[in-house]
Chains A and B, each alone.
Chain A
């Protein structure tokens, strides 16, 4: 493999505590090294910013609901197609790009690892086929557990060990990475025409509460010692006043401690916290509760969050929170698709326009920025758009601009039709914090990597780590004359390396890299009861056989990378 030396760049690396010092980064055999020979290819990074490749902790980029969005929204591709160019295949789609465009766009922005945040286990094969067809970036997928019949039955009887054995089995057969929970119990209730809007609403038939599901899944997660924590989209998403449900959910982590060998300290990851930080009783008195939520998270070190920033775009919402999507189509009257996944989950899809002329959308925009600006520890708060729910991931550079420049926020606030309402219902106008490049590296690299249990592998530039490196045309020594320059610089990298292969040069894709599928191989003690329960469910309930369920082999996972966990 080739050797490279990235010379004279301003390096920002929270893993080593480097805050913009001029430093050379050497790459050899896919890893960061101390030194390379004189024959190494030189990348001139003078007056540029150098960071590790960014890590996406939560996006919907592969699988059946993403593809349903692509199929039922031809208009999303209408004026967003890009023809074949050099290494790049044709691509298309603005909020639900094709797999190829997804890989290219992440890479061009300096992202080298991404998590698909909701894999329906039954459709793991589809998820992995799309991951396989997404070039360059390493990916992993989180199977959803919060409405799964096995989990509901085991946790009703507080059987943590059986839940853990089932999780280990499911991660293995679906090549999954983490325990994802979406509207715990509520999506199952949706199958009965109901929902769970608080942590104490009982799930019909199963007679268990969301609180019991969440608490039990944290315990099972730590029993196994998985790399990532339990990752949750709580009940009552998106409704005025939902922050109380969010706080009730966060409190379920109280007293729980992370047990794992990966350096992860959190036991609960609250995703797209923007959607869960709403006050008020209706859309008229709708207001921000970002302070209440971040106050709690700031005090409780075993919780991490991501933002879910609204980008003020036309987009496509999609979630395994089936009842929420039905509620949303009732609000905006746009087309709705719903899929039930037997025994496991359900999903809905609805297009959405976050208009700067609608006060609710503008307030959502403000809440998404208040949260990271109010979080004291950037290592526990990560930037996402819950792609494509709050906006497309391709808008990250715009979100960075708003976070790094109070002037850019002010310009946007002044452009809102209901500016006064945004200022009265949120505190965005009083926040003058500007996120530094070092903090940005914490929020987009070192932080999410640590939270995912990948802190030793990616998210930093220490020797021995994977050589995932992004070089931006941004000179930190020069004052920012125009905030637009921030957005421009972070949109297209000068150079990107993935596992030591240069994949981007001057904003263009120059290699499809060597993408991997990350998954977790958790070993547990033989558990005949769980194995018997699984085969019984397949015989009695599933419409397919167990052999057709598993996503195994080269076709689905051509380049696997397993993180080994031993819970025997």
Chain B
């Protein structure tokens, strides 16, 4: 695997849309060619090389390419946009849409990431060592197709509206999550190891939420369904089981109505 390192040298005045920073866009290119790829600052299109030093040549394919992003990228959006293979390491804190529409490969964000990360993600892995923003693994604005595959691990806290319209895949938050979790979801799984706020599983059709800590306010649309012993991500414990959202439509599978599930560790 070949490594390309891009290091911020001229921080943009406005937010920078860097939708070409991915193993896919870099694959098969020399450092100088990578520096010629386009980025957008406001309504101006310029080159990646205007903002970043580029060192190292990419591998022949995305799978053979590792991209390391260094320096202050707090105002850089779309890192790892639509990536299908390879690796991306973001050493600092990045802005919105990290790994949006990603289908494969691995992203490691060592700092925090902004909102809309992993929008409509279909596969691959996203690991965040810091905190994640709002709408992690959610659907794009107006769309009804959120994250459908892959795995997201947030070691810190996550913002609000994570897993909105989720269809599949897995989100694990080691810290706390803010309001609205898996709203409108029709599949997938979210594990919150810290505390959750309120409105978990609103209008959820299908899917599963686990909460290890407290839930500030339960949705009125979820009803108790007993207690179960479960092993969740390596932790064996007793969970209170709730099903819902009772106000939403639900499919029948083999004659049995399928609800969304909410498990709270006791």
Contacts and interface: CB of A to CB of B under 8 A. Distances in A.
B140 A75 contact: yes
A75 B249 contact: no
A76 B144 CA distance: 12
A72 B141 CA distance: 9
A352 to B, nearest CB: 12
B142 interface: yes
A74 B144 contact: no
A73 B144 contact: no
B144 A334 contact: yes
A89 interface: no
A74 B249 contact: no
Interface in A40-79: 72-76, 78
Contacts of B139: 75
B231 interface: no
B143 interface: yes
Interface in B137-163: 139-144
B140 A78 contact: yes
A335 interface: yes
A75 B120 CA distance: 12
Interface residues of A, number: 9
A433 interface: no
A378 B172 CA distance: 61
A333 interface: yes
Contacts of B249: 333
A78 B140 CA distance: 9
Interface in B100-116: none
Interface residues of B, number: 7
A335 B141 contact: no
Contacts of A72: 142
Contacts of B143: 75, 78
Nearest to A73: B142
B197 to A, nearest CB: 26
A75 B139 CA distance: 10
Contacts of B141: 74-75
A373 B112 CA distance: 60
Interface in B212-266: 249
Contacts of A334: 144
Nearest to B139: A75
Nearest to A76: B142
A72 B144 CA distance: 12
B44 to A, nearest CB: 12
Contacts of A73: 142
B27 to A, nearest CB: 21
A553 B140 CA distance: 41
A218 B195 CA distance: 67
Interface in A71-103: 72-76, 78
Interface string A463-501: 000000000000000000000000000000000000000
B175 to A, nearest CB: 30
A333 B144 CA distance: 10
B115 to A, nearest CB: 15
Nearest to B248: A333
A96 B142 CA distance: 14
Nearest to A330: B249
A531 to B, nearest CB: 45
B178 to A, nearest CB: 23
Interface in A322-339: 333-335
Contacts of A76: 142
A504 to B, nearest CB: 26
Nearest to B143: A75
A64 B57 CA distance: 52
Nearest to A74: B142
A334 B145 CA distance: 11
Nearest to B141: A74
A333 B145 CA distance: 13
Contacts of A335: 144
A76 to B, nearest CB: 8
A111 to B, nearest CB: 29
Interface string B112-139: 0000000000000000000000000001
Interface of A: 72-76, 78, 333-335
7 contacts: A73-B142, A75-B139, A75-B140, A75-B143, A78-B140, A333-B249, A334-B144
Given A74-B140, A75-B140, A334-B144, 13 more contacts: A72-B142, A73-B142, A74-B141, A74-B142, A75-B139, A75-B141, A75-B142, A75-B143, A76-B142, A78-B140, A78-B143, A333-B249, A335-B144
